[in-house]
Amino acid sequence: MSACTASQPIVAAYDGLVCDLDGVVYRGGDAVPGAPETLQRLVADGIRLVYATNNASRVAGDVAAQLASLGAPATDADVVSSAQAGAARLRGELPAGARVLALGGAGVAQALTGVGLVPVQPADVDFDGMRSPAHPPARSVPAAEVSAVLQGFGRNVSVGDFEIAARLLTLGPIWVGTNDDATLPLPWGRSPGNGAYLDLLAVAAGRRPVVVGKPHPPLYRLALDRLGTPASRTLAVGDRLATDIDGARAADLDSAWVLTGVDLPSDLVVTQSSPTYVIAALGELLAPYAVPQRVGDEWRCGRAAVAHADAGLVVRQGSSEPMETVRAGLAALLEARDTGATPARLRDEARTLDRVVEQLLAGGQEPTDHHDDHGGHDERSVANR
């Protein structure tokens, strides 16, 4: 795969960008500082952009409207959801007009309609004259005529809806899950996500669905189709290691792990995730990238030098660019991981790097475009030196 050169920004190696949303472009209802402006500049420079989200409950127009209200460039066609990936998977196996149980939010039904399939609501399924007692049906669709189930998250899905889906699944229709995220982050903590509800139905049905959302490749492949760019010239950007970064790797895409979201260096060192680039915020896509290199018993990145010793992680030389210290430190810790250091020790030592990131982001420091003559560039992941 291509990579930036020493005198070029990261994005110079790419024609397309697949961008995650929450934790990258916005957090809750607010934009991540600098993110909309960076995306505007990327599009102005000719980079093709789509937003890829595991959220199957929202319709693309609502997502695009939120992005536009924050100043990010977005149209309905720029949003690729796991519901759309699921509908595309089903359309590849079913004829136009086939009926599919839409179990989830509005985004699930809209995605099915968008590919020429007919969404069926649980209350409308008729099992030999026995309909749902939960709601009077708007129409009657014989269960035998429902060819598939597309299951995504929806806040209004009821116990009765799950009972209908479970009964339908015993008849053997195709079953596709939009994503298998076990939890859903909320302001007060975590609630069950679509993955938990997939597990619920799997117990009742005695089988499991095909899943298309991140970290599985289909969502990224649909994003590539939407972009019209080859995988080798497309960069995936995300904040979650287990979904965004692992999903990019599964789809053979380079990835940029951005630290404005939930995962921090102490999370990376206890996984096998392998981001191509580690950046503090989206703005660093516009800057040259210093790659960590092993020199003697230490790791150097730009002007930073970090070593891992018995006493722990040692920053021998800092840098005016804090992310150079973070990358050098991560390289040292990942080397220690590969040579047998325990996860508990790695996580504890990486918290030093967490604090560097937190201080950088709290200070609102914008990544600069200056070129560090001590830096270098290649396409290798920080975890695959």
Q: What are 149's strand-pairing partners? A: 101, 175
- CA-nearest of 203, 221, 196, 172 to 50 is 221
Identify the three-state secondary structure at position 115: coil
Identify the three-state secondary structure at position 331: helix
Concatenate the DSSP letters of all residues of 58-75 into one string: S-HHHHHHHHHHTT----
E strand residue ranges, 96-233: 99-103, 118-120, 125-126, 141-142, 146-151, 174-177, 183-186, 189-192, 210-211
- CA-nearest of 42, 40, 30, 83 to 60 is 83
Q: How far apart are CA 302 and CA 279, in angstroms?
A: 14
Nearest 10 degrees: Cα torsion 338, 275, 348, 196: -110
Return all residues near 164 (Cβ < 8 A) that are at least 6 apart. 101, 122, 123, 125, 132
Decide if 46 contacts 22 (C-beta within 8 A): no
Q: Please list the active-site residues.
A: 20, 22
Decide if 83 contacts 108 (C-beta within 8 A): yes
Q: How far apart are CA 360 and CA 348, in angstroms?
A: 20
CA distances from 333 to 59, 265, 289 (A): 41, 10, 20
As given in the structure block, the two tokens for residue 52 are 């890829």
